[in-house]
Amino acid sequence: MLNAEESDPKKLGWMHGLPPPKGKLIMQPQSDHFSFPKLRWTVCHIRELMPTEQVSRGIGSPTPFDYAIDDGIETVKFTPLDGTDTMIWRESLMEK
């Protein structure tokens, strides 16, 4: 499995060129446009694949959260599924 750096859509060449090479196309209604690693490109370009609707947040000013995310989240350790070693969240992003 690819890690975060290896699955970068630009690095993989998804949808580059005009037209993109056949093996680098992400199209709808293909059933694999929501599968990894194509998912990363799809989420950023969903409006290019299917109709969407913009939803307004309203005319009032944004309401700030009344709490902050716990800075300790970076130190939470866990053992990945099918893993034996513990790691923190940031370490898991680069794992395969």
Of 8, 11, 2, nearest to 96 (Cα)?
2
State pLDDT tens for residues 35-62.
888 989 999 998 888 888 888 888 989 8
Residue 9, helix vs strand vs coil: helix
d(CA 7, CA 28) in angstroms, rounded, equals 20
Burial status of residue 34 (CB atoms within 10 A of its CB: 0-12, 13-18, 19 or more)? middle
Give pLDDT tens digits for 64-74. Answer: 888 877 878 88
89 vs 92: CA distance, rounded Å: 5
